[in-house]
Structures are given as structure tokens and as C-alpha cells.
Amino acid sequence: MDKHLLSAGDLTAPDITRVLDTAAHLAKVTDRAIKKVPTLRGRTVCNLFFEDSTRTRISFELAAKRLSADVINFSAKGSSVSKGESLKDTAITLEAMGVDAIVIRHGASGAPWRLAEWVEAVVVNAGDGTHEHPTQALLDLYTIRQRFPSFEGLKVAIVGDVLHSRVARSNVLALTTMGAEVTLVAPPTLLPARVETWGAAVSYDLDAVLPKQDVVMMLRVQLERQRAGYFPSLREYARLYGLDGRRLDTMADHAIVMHPGPMNRGVEIAAEVADSLERSVIADQVANGISVRMALLYLLLGGPTEGFGEPQRGAPMGRGAA
């Protein structure tokens, strides 16, 4: 794996498995009386957020703090960015202050790649425009793996505004790498051009797709999309592509419902579905986000140079020949 985490597509199946395994071990830290390990003492992680985000920023902040890293939260509002400072100058300033990792959320697709060219620090993409959100995909895979033994042949539907969804793109990349069969379900206006090259099936008919799925991932519908003319009305969207109790009943008994949040209850997901104790794993997704981000920070910052290096399973410490 690369030095940075920019795209879910950069991760191989063994990389993803290692992140998920490490996350499973680190999840136990949260259950302890002392919810902290000294692993990244003396390392500094900067959350560089140019877009509003509550859960992702807090999740990264908690993950870094549980590993004993120092955390700086930088939000564009009220910073020198609002005075017109460029991303490059902001990056150079942070580098000069000696940060070891920059977690970036930016409205422009590709911003993390530019940042990675300018700084020595590890760059983690926490969502760039309508492009990618790899840590969300990894926490979704972790949540799926808690319910299903293998991704091989697992049927996953991703439903909603695929066109503007960085969650959908990263999930398709990670899920197909792991051997899952992904179906994208959306009105034609909310599917990107050349979606057929993504390696996922495409459908406009949610009712036909639902009964065959193991996992149904609902995407947030941004309300301003309706004003922009992508669909006629929220009511019509909810009727055709919303997951309500009636549709839930057509799903297989073992199938689960996911949502990256924040939810529009009554639009893409009905309250009774979101709160369903048997089906909904939405609260698990939030909790798992911390463990997965701890695993990533450990794997990206816990080594000497770049990337994961070779996994050293049970390698004896200093016992072998030099």
C-alpha cells in the first residue's frame, strides 16, 4: 500500500483485510477502562477540514487521541483560508509546524492528491468533492464483515445519488476488490457517465433488486439536487427510491441496511427502517468508524517510511538474525 490513503482503489485485498483485522483488535481498546494506548505518542495529526463535517472529524479526532497522537483541528471557517490563503500555502504552513499526518476533507475532487504532492506528511482523504471517501468505505466493509463471513459473491446494492456520492465510488472500489457483487440503483439522472466501467451492475428498479441483496446501502439525497432538477420532487424520489417498511419486507431475512449519514428520514430511508433493530446497522457504522480510523492511523504512522510495509505476523522481536 501507498504512503497515503487517497483512494479506496489503491488498496489491494490483503491491504483491506489487514486494515479490518487491525481494526477488530483495536476496537477492544474502546471497551477498556483506560480507552487509550501510547502507540502514536509524539505524533501530530491535523484534521484539515474545508467542508463542514461533524461525524468524520470527531471520528478521526477520537481515533488519533485513543492512539495518544496530538490532534490539531483546522476548519476553513475562521481561518486564514477565509482570508484567501491557498491550499498550497496552508499545506506548507502545516508542514513547517511539523505535522505527521494530514486528514483532509475538501469540496474539490482531487484536492488530497495535490496536497500529497506538496507535503512530506501522510495524507488521508476524508472526502474530496463528489469523488472519494475511502475511510467510509473501509468502515462500511468492517460493518459488513461483522455480519457476513466473506465478501466473495456477497450481493450489495448501493441506492440513491450515485452521481454525487463519494461514498458510493469508494465503496464500489473496495467491495469489488474484495469480490462482492455490487448493484448501483438510481434514477438515470443520478448515475454518472460511463458508470458501466465501474465494474458494478446498474438498475433503475429498486423493487426488482431488493429481494436478491445481502446488503442494502442507502445514500443521502442532498436536498438541493431536487432544485437543480435531478428529480421532480422529494415525494416522487421517496416513492421510487426510498427504503420504507414495505420494501424492507421484500428483502431476504438476513439482509442488512446501511446508511453513511446524515440521514434524511422520510426521503431515502423511512424512520422505521433506520431504527429497525434487526436490520439497521447504522449505529454500528458510526462506532466502527473509530476503530477503522485507529487501524489506518496505526498502519500509516506506525512505520518508519512509507506504507504498510510487509506485514510481520508474529515476527519475533529482535530474536532473529540481524
By beta-carbon proximity to another protein, the closer residue of 29 and 263 is 29
Q: Closest separation between CB of residue 39 and another protein, Å?
A: 4
Spatial distance between the Cα atoms of 120 and 301, rounded to a whole number of angstroms: 12
Whether 105 is catalytic: yes
Spatial distance between the Cα atoms of 187 and 97, rounded to a whole number of angstroms: 47
Spatial distance between the Cα atoms of 210 and 190, rounded to a whole number of angstroms: 19
Whether 133 is catalytic: yes
Selected catalytic residue, list 18, 43, 44, 56: 56
Q: Closest separation between CB of residue 52 and another protein, Å?
A: 32
Q: Closest separation between CB of residue 316 and another protein, Å?
A: 7
Q: Closest separation between CB of residue 319 and another protein, Å?
A: 5
In Å, how far from its chain's centre is CA 86?
26
Whether 77 is catalytic: no
By beta-carbon proximity to another protein, the closer residue of 67 and 206 is 67
By beta-carbon proximity to another protein, the closer residue of 26 and 124 is 26
Q: Which of 3, 95, 7, 84 minimizes the C-alpha distance to 48?
A: 95
Selected catalytic residue, list 3, 17, 39, 55: 55
CB 156 within 8 A of CB 215: yes
By beta-carbon proximity to another protein, the closer residue of 229 and 316 is 316
Selected catalytic residue, list 28, 83, 227, 246: 83
Please, is 228 exposed, middle or buried when counting C-beta atoms within 10 Å of its C-beta (0-12, 13-18, 19+)?
exposed
Q: Closest separation between CB of residue 43 and another protein, Å?
A: 8
Q: Using CB under 8 A as the criterion, which residues of the chain lie in contact with another protein when the complex forms?
A: 21-22, 24-26, 28-29, 32-34, 36-40, 43, 67, 298-299, 301-304, 308-322
Give me the sheet containing 215-218, strands edge to edge. 201-203, 181-185, 155-159, 215-218, 256-258
By beta-carbon proximity to another protein, the closer residue of 37 and 108 is 37
Selected catalytic residue, list 133, 166, 169, 220: 133
CB 124 within 8 A of CB 113: no
CB 256 within 8 A of CB 281: yes
Selected catalytic residue, list 105, 259, 279, 293: 105
Dihedral sign (CA 235, 241, 257, 130): negative
Q: Looking at the DSSP assignment, which residues form a beta bridge with residue 280? A: 257
Spatial distance between the Cα atoms of 87 and 115, rounded to a whole number of angstroms: 8
Catalytic residue ranges: 55-56, 83, 105, 133
